[in-house]
A and B are shown apart, each in its own frame.
Chain A
Amino acid sequence: MDPLILSRWQFAITTIYHFFLVPLTLGLSILVAIFESRYVATGNETYKRLTKFWGKIFLINFAAGVVTGIVQEFHFGMNWSGYARFMGDIFGAPLAIEALLAFYMESTFIGLWVFGWDKLSKKVHLAAAWLVAFGSSISAFWILIANSFMQNPVGYAIENGRAVMTSFLALVTNPNLPYQFLHVLAAGISTAGFIVLGFSAWHLLRKKEGDVEFFQKAFRWAAVYALIGTVMVGLVGDAHGKFLGQTQPMKISAAEAIWENEQPAAFVVIANIDQQAQTNTFELRIPRMLSFLLYNNFEGEVEGLKELQAEAVVQYGPGNYIPSVVITFWSFRIMVGVGVLMGLLALLAVIRSKVKSLEKSRLFLKILLPAMALPYLASTFGWILTESDRQPWIVYGLQKVQDAVSPNVTTGDVLFSLILFTVLLGALVAVTGWLMYKSGTAEPTIENTTE
């Protein structure tokens, strides 16, 4: 094992941990701000209780998200100094701007929000809630500007062996960015929807006097929220796929396991992939379906991986430019499959969210408990897909992962940190989950405590 492999594992593992926490922060910050807006607009105390109850879960999750995020920032210099040197002129800017615009805003106003209930006027306190939510989204926006550049470089030139920014405007208007940002934001909204649905279902199943109305209200809001999120995830994801089909066909052909050129192209539902032999030994196909998915017609041609590899060799020189088809193909299917399931559940939740039908739907409520895991599954495989699909590149077409790793960090160093981070952050995510469970299944308090 060399530092490269270990550093890749470390980055993958810490990123996945980080992204266990980020979507809920994104989605729940907005939902909590909506609840507080309703409270300020109507004066209805139930909304204040909803704000505080879900706000508590938000805060536990937020704290863990922040610390796993610091690990991410440090990594770019610690393990990927080759990347930092080559890409720093472009990549550093959005990262610094993220800190300057988003992190200060989030962290400062979260302090005001948590500690300011009896120190700020209602409206100023509400503004703090929205600024926290806004800060979270801005944070996602800027880090995805950075990631979008890695996926689809724009506005740069290569000078003296490094990439330099030539257009900041091109960076922030990267055509890949709207898809990525909206997809992530919508994933956050669905995650928050499913978490609130799940915990509400838990309480509704217990039918404790006094709580029922409170959680029915939460349920109704969360059902609509989850549906908006899942529908948006699907629509944006579909549009992103079409975009990639035009601009980076290698990513699509890998995720769909298309080895040979096809016109019209069939959609491979499941396959047994033999990457070595560059073929699928078994396929379940829907004729013409991939052409339709990518081009909205039944005739469009999809280039196979073999031809794309040959083109890449011409463009970039000798090397293997095909990502791991097994990983991308199956990650894609798990992500989409789970997403579709979430969409159906969210739709059912909206349909059944009338008080009377909720009381009769014990089975459905029970299903919503394990369903809390679904958004995490989808997000995780979403990131595995998008990051694996870029391989062997760290910056598409500009720098390979193998050239990005720090030359001075040893196997022992990374092995030590890999084990430490995996165990520590794993424990952290587990404790976060446990505390969220405790808070989510606690009685909603009548008055005023944030502890």
Chain B
Amino acid sequence: MDLNTVWFILVTILFIGFFFLEGFDYGVGILLPFLGRDNDERRAIINSIGPVWDGNEVWMITAGGALFASFPNVYATLFSGFYLALVLMLVALIMRGVAFEFRGKHESKSWRALWDWAIFTGSLLPALLWGVAVANLMRGFAIEQDMNYYGGLLPLLNPYALLGGLVFVSMFTMHGANFLVRKVTDAIVERAKKVAFTSWIIATVLTVAFVTWTFFATDILTKPGINGLIPAVLAAVTLLVTGWLIRAGESGWAFTTGSLTVVFTTIMVFAGLYPRILVSSLDPSWSLTIVNAASSPYTLKVMTIVAAIFVPIVLVYQGWTYWIFRKRIEAKSENLTY
């Protein structure tokens, strides 16, 4: 396998890690105001992701860094092209990023309300915007011959992309609810179970619509050679099974299959794109591919060695962290940190 493909796969893996891990963090953040009725409950919800959310977010930063290192032209085109969307995303991430730490540092209702709001918006907006971005990647956007996109924000907010955004929001909400069912106790669990099922219904309806639209409007599922069809089928199957498991009260398995849905959806996107990364809707030959967007063979080789050593190490210690914090969080506990 050539190194360009290796890096395409590695970037895919980083996005899988990002959507899987931050997916439930975003979901938990979105659910915070609805599932936490008082301060103790909200603290329990926040503490359920307290020790891990920061490490989870690093998957996004690393995915960005890896994209920069391996496909700098993609990084340049994507980040400059989606400028305003990214500004909004940054604002959301900034507010959310400090909210966890700042929320408990001052005794005041309005202070906590401010940061609860920041956690909610700071989770909802990135989930939505990532969905919008991914949908635009799938359908392609007006990249010109010089590799730049000059269209601004509005064309990116097309109905197909917005539907993609809603798919992400609903799927992450379900994912977060499944996570909370396993991580908190008492009344919050009951509420989370209900939300898990409701959001599953919404996610399923939206996903069916989105996949159908994808089938007709893009070549993600249909292009010859490698495409996203098989992972799309697997995503659909795991999503259906998830609904059944939520109904059956098998929360652990529901979280597992729901996670697999997120994983397969991400694989669908990247498999459907390969060997392109950014599709030009103006002219197929203007698309950015794993060849014309890539770093030099030497840089890819160096980075492959670095990744081969350090990605496994990261997986081991992050996995260990989840083991250490495997216990449920009680709202009445004296030992809450945030």
Contact = CB atoms under 8 A, between A and B. Distances in A.
B58 A104 contact: yes
Which of B54, B70, B337: most chain A CB closer than 10 A? B54
B219 interface: no
Interface in B59-116: 61-62, 64-70, 72-73, 75-81, 83-84, 86-87, 90-91, 93-94, 97-98, 100-102, 104-106
Nearest to B43: A451
B325 interface: yes
Interface residues of B, number: 68
A84 B72 contact: yes
Given A111-B321, A431-B102, A67 B94 contact: yes
A93 interface: yes
Contacts, number: 232
A7 to B, nearest CB: 11
B39 interface: no
Nearest to B75: A77
Nearest to B47: A115
Nearest to A66: B97
Given A84-B76, A92-B69, A165-B296, A118 B148 contact: no
B6 interface: no
Contacts of B52: 108, 111
B241 interface: no
A89 B51 contact: no
Interface stretch (B169-177, B188-196, B260-268, B305-313): B305-313
Interface in A140-173: 159, 164-166, 168
B299 interface: yes
A78 B80 contact: yes
A159 B51 CA distance: 45
A439 interface: yes
Given A116-B324, A450-B337, A90 B299 contact: yes
A166 B299 CA distance: 8
Given A417-B87, A451-B337, A66 B68 contact: no
A165 B87 contact: no
A78 B82 CA distance: 8
B98 A64 contact: yes
Nearest to A95: B65
A336 B94 CA distance: 33
Contacts of B98: 63-64, 67, 428, 431-432
5 contacts: A66-B54, A78-B87, A89-B72, A93-B299, A413-B83
Interface of A: 59-60, 62-64, 66-68, 70-71, 73-74, 76-79, 81-82, 84-85, 87-93, 95-101, 103-105, 107-112, 114-116, 118-120, 159, 164-166, 168, 406-410, 413, 416-417, 420-421, 424-425, 428, 431-432, 435, 438-439, 450-451
Given A60-B101, A88-B72, A413-B84, 20 more contacts: A70-B90, A74-B64, A84-B75, A89-B72, A91-B72, A93-B69, A96-B62, A96-B65, A96-B66, A99-B64, A100-B311, A100-B314, A109-B317, A111-B55, A112-B324, A115-B337, A409-B80, A409-B83, A435-B105, A451-B104
